[in-house]
Chains A and B, each alone.
Chain A
């Protein structure tokens, strides 16, 4: 994916929420880019800022927080764009799907109406053409007897089917980028794989970039081209999936990878990174991961390690990164 033109370029994205007169730095200085047809995985624990990243890109976060930095999309900056203009990009060029298929569809409108609504907002299709397109989309995401199901309500679909409908709605207007916020977390394992396959297949067919938020490294390994690991609102390590997962350098990435149960004999205690992530209103002055880090040195407690470029694709923010030889010691 090296030489692909960049579709989305996020630079220094920071988001601050205000609560009880306090500033909560939910996102700090996040930078990454996604190419055409590229799949980027955003991983991290709950509260690390993965979802906030997507919501900041999509103009959702600024409704209740303060967003700064740059999100370049086709030469314009989404952060600075007024809602009125952003609306022509939302759903038409960039689409987003959510974690909870149970609540992401309006329970009172039929699936057909909700599909049609997107098409009416973003295309010039006639009424009949919209209906055809709606059937085609439902068909495309693998909903059997699509034409009959148009007049069904969301509660008449199962969780997995509902997520398929959501994907159909999101992709109806042919977006170039899909932001997927843990699209499979709420589904059971067999369905998870199907939905992921579906997203990837459609992304490939439609030549669409994908930002996939997940906390499942297994999913990242299977599906993504690049990965960015987030911790306490910052990206701590990023690069091509192969490189990052084969030789993680940030101790947090190492810890995450060790927490994936793999080839363990039964009744072995699972590894977990000790401690809990810091609260956003009580971030340590140095590296946010320092209190939990096994490779913490004095400098980590005083200063925040800057993002360092290792090779032209890989970056890590750590004073004491793991090299391959000591990688397993952590």
Chain B
């Protein structure tokens, strides 16, 4: 470790100041911040009731009255895309948080104790990562039945392995530092060493991965919704909305395009956020 890595004698800029200097990070924050607002208060932003059917205005192209057009039941597409934020942002949280917590805990424990548990863990990792992820999740959903809750269960059951693998590697790397050994020779308990010393030092890459992962889970959730395995119609969810429009792609392109843009934008937001965070949290030279 070079001296420069830790050398902080000059007054360095605060976290906020450095964050504001990164346009990508700022853009990510704006996108995700706005997405969260839409998810929390859809009624305040949506011009119409997302489920209000109007047979007199079916499949209308984008206009001033309906900026995203209307769908085949005359529902306002913009309102449906906005209400879908609630479901899709919820996916980003519920689809990852259980995997995150389990993965961090298991990864830290096997990384610290190694031994037989680590060998078993290694086999589980091998088994899970050799399977195509989507196929595995679909298999679990197929067993449990379609629906959002089952989809969260399916994602969590598979996904904690990825977090645990990352956490384990980080903990092992941190244990190479003397402060971990120092904790042992100071007579600290294993619990204290793992959770107070190793975990906070090892968690940064996991948090960054989490951000990117939220984008992936939204994508995955939409895919499952599209396939009819996730959110169920008439619930407004981007994957479901795209699926609804797929038969009319040449005549009513806005039906699939608008929710698609929402997916891309949110995914981009999370990626930018994760990327910026990785930059900001990286030890400075």
Contact = CB atoms under 8 A, between A and B. Distances in A.
Contacts of A92: 187
Given A108-B201, A155-B6, A100 B1 contact: yes
Contact of A104 (B5, B114, B178): B178
Interface string B1-30: 101011111000000000000000000000
Contact of B187 (A87, A99, A100, A103): A87
Interface in B227-271: none
Interface string A113-141: 00001100110000000000000000000
Interface in B146-203: 177-179, 181-189, 192, 196-197, 200-201
Contacts of A63: 184
Interface residues of A, number: 39
A88 B114 CA distance: 24
Contacts, number: 82
Contacts of A103: 1, 177-179
A88 B179 contact: no
B1 A98 contact: no
Nearest to B283: A107
B8 A156 contact: yes
Given A102-B3, A102-B6, A107-B6, A89 B187 contact: yes
A170 B182 CA distance: 9
B197 to A, nearest CB: 5
Given A102-B3, A107-B6, A117 B188 contact: yes
Interface string A33-73: 00000000000000000000001001110011000000000
Interface residues of B, number: 25
Contact of A121 (B5, B9, B182, B186): B186
Nearest to B183: A106
A90 B184 CA distance: 8
Contacts of B5: 102
Given A58-B185, A89-B187, A90-B186, A106 B3 contact: no
Interface string A75-118: 00000000000111111101110111011111111000000011
B187 A60 contact: no
A169 B185 CA distance: 11
A159 interface: yes
Given A96-B182, A107-B201, A108-B200, A102 B187 contact: no
B184 A104 contact: no
A154 interface: yes
Contacts of B6: 102, 107, 154-155
A95 B188 CA distance: 12
Contacts of B188: 87, 91, 117, 121
A84 to B, nearest CB: 9
Contacts of A91: 185-188
Given A106-B179, A107-B201, A154-B6, A121 B187 contact: yes
A159 B3 contact: yes
Nearest to A122: B187
Given A60-B181, A108-B201, A102 B1 contact: yes
B171 to A, nearest CB: 14
A96 B180 CA distance: 12
Among B182, B188, B196, B200, the most chain A Cβ lie within 10 Å of the Cβ of B182
Contact of A59 (B179, B182, B184): B184
A95 B183 CA distance: 11
Given A103-B1, A107-B6, A159-B3, A98 B178 contact: yes
A146 B8 CA distance: 19
A96 B8 contact: no
Contacts of B186: 90-91, 95, 117-118, 121, 169-170
Contacts of B182: 96, 98, 104-105, 166, 169
Tell which of B3, B7, B188 has the most Cβ of chain A within 10 Å. B188
Contacts of A166: 182
A154 B261 CA distance: 47
B185 A95 contact: yes
Contact of B184 (A60, A94, A106, A109): A60
Contacts of A58: 184-185
Nearest to A162: B6
Nearest to B5: A102
Interface string A169-198: 110000000010000000000000000000
Given A95-B186, A102-B3, A104-B181, 20 more contacts: A55-B181, A59-B184, A60-B184, A86-B187, A92-B187, A96-B182, A96-B185, A98-B182, A99-B178, A100-B1, A104-B177, A104-B178, A106-B179, A107-B6, A108-B201, A121-B187, A154-B6, A155-B8, A156-B9, A166-B182
30 contacts: A58-B184, A58-B185, A87-B189, A90-B186, A91-B185, A91-B187, A91-B188, A95-B185, A96-B182, A96-B185, A98-B181, A100-B1, A100-B178, A103-B1, A103-B179, A104-B178, A104-B179, A106-B183, A106-B197, A106-B201, A107-B6, A107-B179, A108-B200, A109-B197, A117-B186, A118-B186, A122-B187, A155-B6, A155-B8, A169-B186
Rank and list the top 4 A-B pairs by shortest CB-CB distance, nearest first. Answer: A90-B187, A104-B178, A91-B186, A91-B187
